[in-house]
Structure 1
Amino acid sequence: MTSVSRTLGRCLRETGQALHRFGHQCQDSTLILETFSRHRQLMPLAASAPAVAKDAWVAPSATLVGEVDVSGEASVWYGAVVRGDTGAVAIGKGSNVQDDAILGSGDVSVGAGVTIGHGAIIKSSTVADGSMVGMKAIVESATVEQGSIVAAGAVVMPGTVVGAGQVWGGNPAVYMRDVTPAEKAQLTKSAEGYVALAGSHATSIAA
């Protein structure tokens, strides 16, 4: 009986999807046909499941797996992957993990007001409050202290400590200079801007 029910259920779902597509084809050709996606935004793993604060935002195409904690006003953007499968990942209040960034491969701690740029990779590392990791930068088994900047494309090697208020860049990343007052203000502005932008996206998607 169970086998029959499953087969019938699958047939009914496929029939419904076919009718949905046919209905769109019969209507105005300018209508947008959205492809159905089976993407899992939040995926439990063993005894762990992602925890997302009510006022945080996770993009529909982002993926959170296992032991992941997203604090209030934080955002995880389109295509980003946060894997808490081999360690816990914590994303602090008001931080943003931008498009296609990857966090995981061990414990990862992202402080408050942090910006993780597009395509950046953070493995087994700590990124302290008010810092920024630039686009496509790689930080592995390292510590990025408060208010510092890892330049776009930089590769921070295991065991490295990026000092508070410093700018590091290159491959391998090295100290370049101290963060300027203007850059410090921009770090705060960037994080706050993403909090507002995430709210706008959340409202539009929910509409």
Structure 2
Amino acid sequence: MATILPYRGMEPRIDPDAFIAETAVIIGDVEIGPASSIWYGCVLRGDVNAIRVGRNTNVQDGTIVHCNHDPNGDYRETGGGMPTHIGDNITIGHMALIHACKLEDDCFIGMRSVVMDDAVVESRAMVAAGAVVTPGKRVPKHELWAGTPAKLQRQLREEELEYFAYSADQYAKLAASYRS
């Protein structure tokens, strides 16, 4: 059974239709939407701010998701710091690091990539495997960013964009088979 822990009175809220692998750790102010999946060895630690995961999103094995605190006090009172928002229909590849950023619906995050504080990956954009999106960067719609630090490589092809939806749906089906 997964480790699901409260922190300072904040209980994780997980849709009953989500799949959480046995070795995943979910802590504090975390919400996970329907048909989403958090795979083996993932840690989502909502201790110093909020983490939100939409519907039909897969967070693959070994991924770490965290947020950033508000130096002026408790984020629940000040509204400060940096939460992590992960939208709908997203694939986050194995061993990614997602920290205090925003991933818009229908984007794709490659394996072992890093998306840092206050960065935004727009809808239908892709961060390549191993890329590092540095703080405050914006990865625009329909673009592939790669490298360290990540930079624009090219525009995405239509078949790549179609794969994003396919990947999210395949992981939702796989998660459903694990739940049954």
TM-score normalised to the size of structure 2?
0.90
Cα distance, 1:105 vs. partner? 2.8
In the alignment of these two chains, the number of paired residues is 165
Q: Which residue of 2 aligns with 1:12?
A: none
In 1, the alpha carbon distance for the partners of 2:148 and 2:16 equals 39
* Structure with higher strand content: 2
Q: Secondary structure at the match of 2:135?
A: coil
Query: What fraction of aligned residue pairs are identical, expressed as a percent?
Result: 36
Does 2:28 correspond to 1:51? no
Q: Which residue of 1 aligns with 2:170?
A: 193
Q: Which residue of 1 aligns with 2:120?
A: 143
Question: Against the structure 1 CA distance between its residues 129 and 40, is the aligned structure 2 distance closer, same or farther, given a 3 Å change threshold?
Answer: closer
Q: Which residue of 2 aligns with 1:168?
A: 145
Stretches of structure 1 lacking an aligned partner (at least 5 in a row): 1-38
In 2, the alpha carbon distance for the partners of 1:125 and 1:65 equals 18
Residues 53-83 of structure 1 show CA distances to partners (whole Å, capped at 9, x for unaligned) of 0111100100000000000000000000001
* Structure with higher helix content: 1
Question: Does the 8 A contact of 2:35 with 2:56 survive in 1?
Answer: yes
**Equivalent runs, 1:117-128 vs 2, <5 Å:** 117-128=93-104
**Equivalent runs, 1:1-207 vs 2, <5 Å:** 41-106=3-68, 107-141=83-117, 142-203=119-180
Counterpart amino acid of residue 114 in structure 1: I
In 1, the alpha carbon distance for the partners of 2:37 and 2:64 equals 14
Stretches of structure 2 lacking an aligned partner (at least 5 in a row): 69-82
In 1, the alpha carbon distance for the partners of 2:52 and 2:142 equals 22
Q: Which has the higher contact order (CA 8 A, sep 6+)?
A: 2
Return 39-48 or 150-159, whichever deviates more. 39-48
| 4+ aligned runs moved over 2 Å, structure 1 | none
Q: Secondary structure at the match of 1:84?
A: strand
Give RMSD over aligned pairs. Answer: 0.9
